[in-house]
Amino acid sequence: MSDPVRLAKRVADLARCSRIEAEQYVKGGWVAVDGRVVEDPAHPVSVEVVALDPAAQLEAVEPATVLLHKPVGFDAISGRRAAAGLVQPDSRWPDDPSGVRLLERHFHRLTPLVPLDVEASGLMVFTQDGRVWRRLTEDRDEIEQEFVVEVSGEIAPYGLRKLNHGLHYAGRALPPCKVSWQNEIRLRFALKGVQGGQLRDMCAQVGLEVVAIRRIRIGKVPLAKMPVGMWRYLPVGERF
């Protein structure tokens, strides 16, 4: 039995390329060891069969950003039922239009961003990308979010006008926002700087009880038709 060597070295010999290029191939998920994709360039190999995908491309592996349709009952940021646990290879939306190749490394160190109430469903963001983290953390209050809120009860006189401007929450006057009826039982909210519990409180102030809340957009990124509990990648170049 030959002494083990790093996978990157074996790939460099196999593809007649530099060690740096070989590491890129491995990190990009283009290399299989005995039929199983391995993304660690330091993985030791000896007699195993190493194969480089004929379609392999030398491209940098970009940090991933994942968009999840969070179900009701899951904690967005932290908690006993963390929504992060739903981001698994087998729960990727089959119709994901991003074109991003699924890699095992995309499931490491995903940071949840933009809080969403436990009892709400809808769009959630997880990222490995520092640029996305800064945008959704430092500029969060400047990014518009859109929600569909199902309600019951009879709205108070001038209630829709008050929802748009004139309510208070947590002792502070709320800035103007955009609220309209989507149908007889659903309101559409578009607002910035939304806080936990704010939408329920706003509805209660005009005589309405919230039945369900779903976030359908963060900035320019929509939830689209992605089913509950599934996720997709944010395409490279798409911005919030």
pLDDT tens digits along 183-217: 999 999 999 999 999 999 999 999 999 999 999 99
Asked if 215 and 198 count as a contact pair (C-beta separation under 8 A), the reply is no
Q: Which residues pair with 44 in a beta bridge?
A: 6
**Residue 154: pLDDT above 90?**
yes
Higher pLDDT, 92 or 13: 92
**Residue 116: pLDDT above 70?**
yes
Mean pLDDT of 153-161: 96
Tell me how far apart the alpha carbons of residues 72 and 180 are, in angstroms, rounded to a whole number: 23
pLDDT of residue 148: 98
Asked if 68 and 87 count as a contact pair (C-beta separation under 8 A), the reply is yes
pLDDT interval class at 141 (50, 70, 90): very high
Higher pLDDT, 49 or 220: 220
Domains and CATH numbers, the chain: 5-52 (3.10.290.10), 65-141+221-233 (3.30.70.580), 144-218 (3.30.2350.10)
pLDDT of residue 41: 86
pLDDT of residue 28: 84
pLDDT of residue 130: 94
pLDDT of residue 1: 53
114-137 per-residue burial string, b: 16 or more CB within 10 A, e: under 16 = bbbbeebbbbbbbbbeeebbebbe
pLDDT of residue 227: 97
Per-residue model confidence as pLDDT tens digits over 28-62:
888 888 888 888 888 988 888 888 889 888 888 88
pLDDT of residue 205: 97
Tell me how far apart the alpha carbons of residues 219 and 227 are, in angstroms, rounded to a whole number: 20
**224 contacts: CB under 8 Å, gap ≥ 6:** none
Tell me how far apart the alpha carbons of residues 142 and 159 are, in angstroms, rounded to a whole number: 25
pLDDT interval class at 182 (50, 70, 90): very high
Mean pLDDT of 68-90: 93
**Residue 107: pLDDT above 60?**
yes
